[in-house]
Amino acid sequence: MARILAIDYGEKRFGLAQTDPLNIFAQPLTTILSTEFEAWIKTYLQQQTLSAFVVGMPKRLSGEDTHSTERVRKFIDWLKQNFPEIPVHTIDERYSSKEAQDQIIRMGKTKIQRREKGLIDTVAATLILQTYLQQFSS
C-alpha cells in the first residue's frame, strides 16, 4: 500500500515523516538539508510508493500568512510540477513547533537534545501528518 509523506518545510532543513504501510500511524522519518531534498525524494520514490504529500502551511496565530508562507507555496508548486501524479495537501502548522517541543520534553530528552533543530523538525512533521490522518478518521 502507498504511504503518505509529510514535510515540515524550512529554509535550511526539512523534517520528514511517513505513514505506516496501512496509513494508520504517523512515523518520524528523518531531517534533511533543504538543498538535498530533490535527490532524496527521487531515491525515496524508487523504494516507496506515495499516495500523497502533506505539507505544513505556516500561518500566524491570526490566520494571516507568515514570512515563510510564500516559500512554502512555491515549494508546493515545485512538488506538483515534478510529481503531478501525487496529490499535495496542506495542514495548518501554527502550533506544530511548539507541540513538537512539548512532545520532546514528554519523551524525556535532555536540554541538549531538545535544542537539536533536526529533532524538532522531524517531530513537527510527524505531528503534521498525525493531524492530517485524524481529519479522515473522525
What pLDDT, on the 0 to 100 scale, is given for residue 38? 96
Q: What share of the chain is helix, strand, coil (3-state, %, to 5)?
A: 45, 25, 30
Return the CATH fold of 3-137: Nucleotidyltransferase; domain 5 (3.30.420)
Higher pLDDT, 61 or 38: 38
| Average confidence (pLDDT) over 61-80 | 88
What pLDDT, on the 0 to 100 scale, is given for residue 58? 86
Model confidence over 73-128: pLDDT tens digits? Answer: 999 999 999 999 999 999 987 655 556 555 555 655 555 554 555 567 788 899 89
Task: Find out whether 114 and 91 touch, Cβ atoms under 8 Å.
Answer: no
| Average confidence (pLDDT) over 31-59 | 95
